[in-house]
Amino acid sequence: MNNINKLIFIAATSGILLGLIIKFFPNLFFVDYLLTATDLLGKIFIKSLKMILVPLVFFSIIVGVSNLGRGKNSSVIWKSTFLYFVTTMSIAITLALVVMNIIQPGIGLSIDSWQSANIGISNTMTIPEFFKQFLLSLFENPFHSLASGKILPLIVFSIIIGIALNDKQDKFMAAKNIFTSLYEVMLKIVHWLMLFAPLGVFALLVNMIVSQDTELFSQLGIFIFTVIFLIMFHGLVILPTILYILTKISPMYLWKEGRPAFITAFATSSSAATLPITLSIANDNFKTNKGVSNFVLPLGATMNMDGTALYEAAAALFIANLVGMDLTLAQQLILFLTAMVASIGAPGIPSAGMVTMAMVLQVLGLPLEALAILLPMDRLIDTFRTTINVEGDLVGALIINKISKS
């Protein structure tokens, strides 16, 4: 994956350079052919992302939810773990929404080469009307949702299947194994897509630069800086404060003892790859009850992603600013929920958040072409996201450990 990230970086730089050359010498003989080819390649890349998105999220959520009942965890552990995951992810998303609404990077630019999808959510709806419409839209014939790419009703259906599979009947085992195996197949396809990503990013960037002015890049800089600052704030202030209030464990102790896990997360950009280290730190350094850590940490590595949730909310607002779409309160509520679902649905592997980012953009009717400017800097931001994701899991295990003892 490291090599792919390097390739994406090289592809992005060459795409920008070539775009600039074409911008300054638009009459070169190859320009027309080249732009037709890059347009085609960019479109294929975006369409293949759309292709994998729905099945990936569908199987990932079924597998995640169907594993919830694993082990003999008392309902206190179960419920408090869930409450903790949802609360901390909500805080992370709220932080992103509030600060991004104040700073508004990208506002005033209008990227006209991106086509907005049909916006499913009207921007004139009142809040009660919005909730009514929203709730009604969650229940649909799953085959219809699959075919039309409607993600939210599909997620509801996958959660229901996952809950049903928690009932450990023998006759359900075959279904569970099939879903798990299909999920692995989807991960494999995502891996292939990442191999294609450098070419896709190159093509999309050439086309974007040809039709854009360079003001975009200074706005991108402000966005990257804001996101990294927010992720650090969540990890250095919010999570340690919650931990201290609930367990009296000091932030210094958390960072000192948890350091190997945080550094591994930073270096690998994968909560899943870091999991063995997070587990051994929870058990050996913090002496948590193994029943608690074996339940909270693996679940957290696939479902609890504060950094990813924060990033996805912030990035969607940035893209909305870039295309001149003013998201209403109702649309920001949708964004809140979708960012949460997207981060729960993202597997704990590098750049997984980028694939589910496509889902957030799609639900809000924002252009998927925007991924071309998010992907090149993803390696950098993913390191921070993953570190905070892992910190959130460890803090969760320590809090649930304390709660389960009292």
State how far the Cα of 31 lies from the Cα of 21, in Å rounded to an integer.
10
For ligand ASP, give the closer residue by CB, 97 or 227. Answer: 227
Residues near ligand ASP (CB under 6 A): 269-271, 305, 308, 346, 348-353, 382, 385-386, 389
Least distance to ligand ASP, CB of residue 311, Å: 7
Sign of CA dihedral 92, 94, 100, 103: negative
State which residue, 130 or 382, has the beta carbon closest to ligand ASP. Answer: 382
The CB-of-263 to ligand ASP minimum distance in angstroms stands at 14
| Calpha distance 59→182 (Å, rounded) | 7
Q: Whole-number minimum distance, CB 320 to ligand ASP, in Å?
A: 20
Give the residue nearest to ligand ASP (CB). Answer: 353
Q: Judged by CB, which is closer to ligand ASP: 80, or 389?
A: 389
Residue burial 350-361, b: 16+ Cβ < 10 Å; e: rest: bbbbbbbbbbbb
CB of 370 to ligand ASP, least distance (A): 16
Question: Which CB, 60 or 145, lies closer to ligand ASP?
Answer: 60
Q: Which letter, b or e, does each residue of 178-198 get, where b requires 16 or more Cβ atoms within 10 Å of its Cβ? A: ebeeebeebbeebeebbeebb
Report, in Å, the least distance between residue 296 CB and ligand ASP: 15
Which one, 353 or 376, has the nearer CB to ligand ASP?
A: 353
Residue with smaller CB distance to ligand ASP, 323 or 346: 346
Q: Minimal CA–CA distance to 347: which of 299, 391, 379, 311?
A: 299
For the CB of residue 254, give the shortest distance to ligand ASP in the complex, in Å. Answer: 18
Q: Tell me how far apart the alpha carbons of residues 265 and 279 are, in angstroms, rounded to a whole number.
A: 13
Q: Report the residue number, 145 or 343, with the smaller CB distance to ligand ASP.
A: 343
Least separation in angstroms between CB 249 and ligand ASP: 23
CB closer to ligand ASP out of 165 and 301: 301
The structure tokens listed for 336 are 């809140």
Q: In a 10 Å sphere around its CB, with 0-12 CB exposed, 13-18 middle and 19+ buried, how is residue 138 labelled?
A: middle
- Dihedral class, residue 287 (left if φ above 0, else alpha if ψ from -120 to 50, else beta): left
CA 103 to chain centre: 22
**Cβ 50 vs Cβ 367: under 8 Å:** no
Residue 124 CB, nearest distance to ligand ASP (Å)? 34
Q: Are 343 and 309 in contact (CB under 8 A)?
A: yes
CA distances from 162 to 52, 76, 176, 190, 362 (A): 20, 20, 9, 22, 24
